[in-house]
Structure 1
Amino acid sequence: MSLFGTSGVRGPVGEAVTAELALSIGRAVGAEADRVVVGRDARESGEPLADALTAGLRESGTDVIDVGVATTPTIARSVPWREADRGVAITASHNPPADNGIKLWDETGKALDRDRLDAIERRIDAENYHLTDWAGIGSIREWPDATDRHVEAIVDAVAIDDPPSVVVDVGNGTGAIAARALRELGCHVETLNALPDGRFPARPSEPTPENCRTLTDVVAATDADLGVAHDGDADRLLAVTEDGTALDGDVLLALFGRDAVERSAEAGRRQEDRAADGPLVAAPVNTSLAVDDALDDVGAALTRTRVGDGYVAERAADPAVVFGGEPSGAWIWPDETPCPDGPLAACRLAGLVSRDGPLSSLAAEIPSYPIHRTAVGTDAKGAVMQELSARIADGAGPGPVESTDDRDGLRVDLGDAWYLVRASGTQPLVRVTAQARAESRAREVFDAARDLVESASEAVD
């Protein structure tokens, strides 16, 4: 199994994530970089991990820019700001407090791609480092202004004519800069759980509707125009309407995507930078048909990627792509930064509400289509996926098939519906998702896809 998953290294501290591992990653990164930005989230375990990683970098002769405790988008943005070669965020993002992780960024502030991650892993496996002597030890300099620079960049990027009232649930993470930026844009802001605490005592770090009930209750009970919630490192954002309803991620993806398309047109984006069929929005293969339809209404199209914000960011590097996002809450404006930026998303959302009206009304404009999900247990998920690929190619399952996409599992487009079969990256499961615009069709496709996976699993097992 690869050391680096779709979000870097992540797992329990003292087991999957250790100071020894951080030292090795620092040495491996340092072998190919002259200057590296390092920062961490609010977890106490981040301090020794950052110390170990920094030691590995410096003994490789690499200079370190230490931004301290900061949001992941702050760390990623700081890489080009400080003309560094790489960035490292010590964070487990939305994972529980017992976990921590290490995520790497390239010189543009984009998540390091798979080829370069694999090269780092090979270097670690071979212990192929280039350690320096005493005279070549890299320097370390603190940069306490990184968060201020991030706030300035957000304020420069967003215009709000009639600032709304916003409740920001920081979730005891690092995302209080969203409240700072919103205030500088003129918004009235109330905060919840704003004290950084890596134990996440107020609520679990992941900003789901279930975990953010205090936020939904507060927004509904006050005159707030909207609410937002971040995870521990503020690369994710959950949105809440003025009546206290937490928005589905696909709905927010459609709203952000349409807004980015309209602003791109207003800015006169060069025609040669656009796709032949209009501007594009990047999103993973499990994104709802509702997003396709909402974008079609404004002359844009969805381009699908593998699941993971790094893959969305890679696709968003195409000049034709004006926005990228994941329904899980990661939002990318490539003209600003290739890293998901929760505080920027909070301010963009406030600007959208200011310009176009109540968030509940905007959300009501996005169609809602039935979607069904399940998972089939198997200890041979790789073999099951191979069997499924062969069977689908032979015409098994719901049909007729218009196209298949095998970049991340198998996504089968049926024209009026789709289904996705995908091996779990962490559990002995094959996940099944199906959607159509009508409930009867969605159920029909889902039942057939589930039966197909169960049959393939029985054949392999």
Structure 2
Amino acid sequence: MSLIKSISGLRGTVGGKVGETLTPIDVAKFTAGFGMWIKERHSEPKVVIGRDARPSGSTFRSIVESTLRAQGIDVVDLDLSTTPTVEMAVVNENAQGGIILTASHNPSGWNALKLLNENGEFISAEDGKKVLEWAESADLEFVDPKKFGSYDTNDSYIDWHIDQILALDLVNVEAIKAAGFKVAVDAVNSTGGIAVPKLLKKLNVEVTELYCEPNGVFPHNPEPLPENITHICSEIAGGNYDLGFVVDPDVDRLVMVCEDGVSFGEEYTLVAVADYVLKKKPGNTVSNLSSTRALRDVTEKNGGSYTASAVGEVNVVTEMKAQNAVIGGEGNGGVILPELHYGRDALVGIALFLSHLAEFGKSVSMLRSTYPNYHISKNKIELDPSLDLDKVLEGLKAQYSKNKFTTIDGLKIEFDKEWVHLRRSNTEPIIRIYAESESQSTADHLAQKLMMDIKELITPV
């Protein structure tokens, strides 16, 4: 059981003691801190809220709504929605912020508050620190009941979001409709079960819905990794499908399944979509340090320049703006198309991928074979509170001083086309260790080697 308060938001397991797990009191305090931050910046504040389908969402949504209104803040409630939909709605509503109740890839017993600024983007580290300070302050203020904020509901925004996607020049609606695709969708019984089938049906795609009832009962671990999506892979392998789509509970991560039931690879969602976009609109790309090198290869092949950012969507977005990137995102299946909005968006990822596939004219597995074939070993170590991670990083830097390395987020060490990245997680009490190579065994070996190096550095002589 845990509660993580960070500049990225508030996240934890639901139920337990205040301050140790995510309880209604923690939600109210954190929401009030966000409300104070909003009111410091805006005289007539409005906030858009939405949630995924996990069981605690409805209760926490009520707490968030009531707390904001008691601070004199108007609330527009999208209720069951997606993270990218809420992000876009903030801008369309001319709101001053947004709160999304979702723990993203975490199991159903978790929940979180994701915080947005007036641009519908995740708040910065500096602003996140201010929200935390306000949440713990004795100066939280509420207004007279006559000045409570207004409350409106709006369940039309998913349809509006889809319409904005279909209006993009990059989305080849006619080619998709003409292709007659047959797909399966795994939406892990969350809000992707509402949004993804709607999008596909507007594109005349034949859809088989797996786990698309938004009841919050996740049928498997909701992180869309190969080991968690075996059901849809078996369904596609045994049927007559062109491909499959898998999304996480708040629909900002996208993974494809090839027509033979083999995962396309979460790292290659962004690679394939970027390849399509760059052919139509040449330019630069950005992903985070833990993402595959394949995006760099594809970008340079298309005449653009690739830049790596620190991990975290806000860091990717900041770097995308600095580099004027036409496409970017994260290797966890997160696609960010600035032309639509600066946020990871599985729905636009689906539309762009189907456009790519329709114009490619061959199978998904054949499309996958056109890209460089790298393998990532993803590992994690439970974080010991007594571990001095900075000291460990300094020891590793000294040990690998002859290699090229980056320290903008933990430590990334490069070995020609191979790399290892060590960093503290923003969302869980763990240390992540990722390694990439052209073979899975070498990537696994590199990750294990680094973990052994860490063990030696922290073990007393």
Q: Which category of TM-score, normalised to the shorter sequence, fits these structures?
A: 0.7 to 0.9
Alpha carbons of structure 1 residues 457 and 50: separation in structure 2 relative to 1, 3 Å: same
Contact 2:286 2:319 in 1 (8 A): yes
Find the partner of 1:197 among 207, 212, 215.
215
Matching residue of 1:293: 297
Find the partner of 2:394 among 389, 392, 395.
389
Structure 2 residue 338 is the aligned partner of structure 1 residue 337 = no
Matching residue of 2:312: 308
Contact 1:22 1:50 in 2 (8 A): no
Matching residue of 1:149: 160
Find the partner of 1:131 among 127, 134, 142.
142
Q: Give how far 1:372 is off.
A: 4.4
Q: Counterpart amino acid of 2:421?
A: L
Matching residue of 1:64: 75
Matches within 5 A, 1:243-392: 243-265=260-282, 279-318=283-322, 320-356=324-360, 357-372=362-377, 374=379, 379=384, 383-390=388-395, 392=397
CA deviation digits over 1:239-267, x for unaligned, max 9? Answer: 111111112222222112222222223xx
Contact 1:111 1:313 in 2 (8 A): no
Matching residue of 2:408: 407
- Root mean square deviation of aligned Cα: 2.6
Matching residue of 1:122: 133
CA deviation digits over 1:378-430, x for unaligned, max 9? Answer: 736752432432552x4x23x6323x211211112343432223245577765
Matching residue of 1:188: 206
Which deviates further from its counterpart, 379-388 or 18-27? Answer: 379-388
Which deviates further from its counterpart, 177-186 or 414-423? Answer: 414-423
Q: How many residues align?
A: 442
Alpha carbons of structure 1 residues 183 and 29: separation in structure 2 relative to 1, 3 Å: same
Which deviates further from its counterpart, 191-200 or 202-211? Answer: 202-211
Q: Counterpart amino acid of 2:240?
A: D
Structure 2 residue 99 is the aligned partner of structure 1 residue 88 = yes
**Separation in structure 1 between the aligned mates of residue 434 and residue 346 of structure 2, nearest angstrom:** 27
Q: Give how far 1:10 is off.
A: 1.7
Q: Counterpart amino acid of 1:18?
A: T
Matching residue of 1:452: 453
Contact 2:187 2:211 in 1 (8 A): yes
Which deviates further from its counterpart, 432-441 or 297-306? Answer: 432-441
Alpha carbons of structure 1 residues 20 and 152: separation in structure 2 relative to 1, 3 Å: same
CA deviation digits over 1:242-301, x for unaligned, max 9? Answer: 111112222222112222222223xxxxxxxxxxxxx32221212222332222211223
Alpha carbons of structure 1 residues 428 and 208: separation in structure 2 relative to 1, 3 Å: closer
Structure 2 residue 80 is the aligned partner of structure 1 residue 76 = no
Contact 1:73 1:234 in 2 (8 A): yes
Equivalent residue of 1:126, what SS? coil
**Runs of at least 5 residues in structure 2 that lack an aligned partner in the other structure:** 40-44
Q: Give how far 1:196 is off.
A: 0.9
Q: Counterpart amino acid of 1:173?
A: S
**Separation in structure 1 between the aligned mates of residue 383 and residue 89 of structure 2, nearest angstrom:** 43
Contact 1:309 1:325 in 2 (8 A): yes
Structure 2 residue 173 is the aligned partner of structure 1 residue 173 = no
Matches within 5 A, 1:399-438: 400-402=402-404, 404-424=405-425, 430-437=431-438
**Separation in structure 1 between the aligned mates of residue 447 and residue 153 of structure 2, nearest angstrom:** 53
Q: Percent identity?
A: 26
Structure 2 residue 23 is the aligned partner of structure 1 residue 18 = yes
Q: Give how far 1:220 is off.
A: 2.3
Alpha carbons of structure 1 residues 427 and 415: separation in structure 2 relative to 1, 3 Å: same
Matching residue of 2:42: none
Equivalent residue of 1:210, what SS? helix
Equivalent residue of 2:226, what SS? coil
Alpha carbons of structure 1 residues 21 and 165: separation in structure 2 relative to 1, 3 Å: same
**Runs of at least 5 residues in structure 1 that lack an aligned partner in the other structure:** 266-278
Q: Give how far 1:7 is off.
A: 5.2
Q: Give how far 1:440 is off.
A: 9.1
Which deviates further from its counterpart, 158-167 or 372-381? Answer: 372-381
Alpha carbons of structure 1 residues 199 and 367: separation in structure 2 relative to 1, 3 Å: same
Alpha carbons of structure 1 residues 236 and 374: separation in structure 2 relative to 1, 3 Å: closer
Alpha carbons of structure 1 residues 417 and 42: separation in structure 2 relative to 1, 3 Å: closer
CA deviation digits over 1:13-44, x for unaligned, max 9? Answer: 12322221222233222222400001111123
**Separation in structure 2 between the aligned mates of residue 222 and residue 313 of structure 1, nearest angstrom:** 39
Alpha carbons of structure 1 residues 126 and 345: separation in structure 2 relative to 1, 3 Å: same
Matching residue of 1:270: none
CA deviation digits over 1:104-148, x for unaligned, max 9? Answer: 111111111211111011011113323211221111011122122
Contact 1:250 1:287 in 2 (8 A): yes
Which deviates further from its counterpart, 48-57 or 289-298? Answer: 289-298
Q: Give how far 1:171 is off.
A: 1.7
Structure 2 residue 111 is the aligned partner of structure 1 residue 100 = yes
Equivalent residue of 1:317, what SS? helix
Find the partner of 1:238 among 255, 262, 265.
255
Alpha carbons of structure 1 residues 245 and 438: separation in structure 2 relative to 1, 3 Å: closer
Q: Counterpart amino acid of 2:23?
A: T
Alpha carbons of structure 1 residues 429 and 146: separation in structure 2 relative to 1, 3 Å: closer
**Separation in structure 1 between the aligned mates of residue 207 and residue 285 of structure 2, nearest angstrom:** 30
Which deviates further from its counterpart, 443-452 or 153-162? Answer: 443-452
Alpha carbons of structure 1 residues 61 and 293: separation in structure 2 relative to 1, 3 Å: same
Alpha carbons of structure 1 residues 375 and 204: separation in structure 2 relative to 1, 3 Å: closer
CA deviation digits over 1:198-223, x for unaligned, max 9? Answer: 122x3332222222222112222333
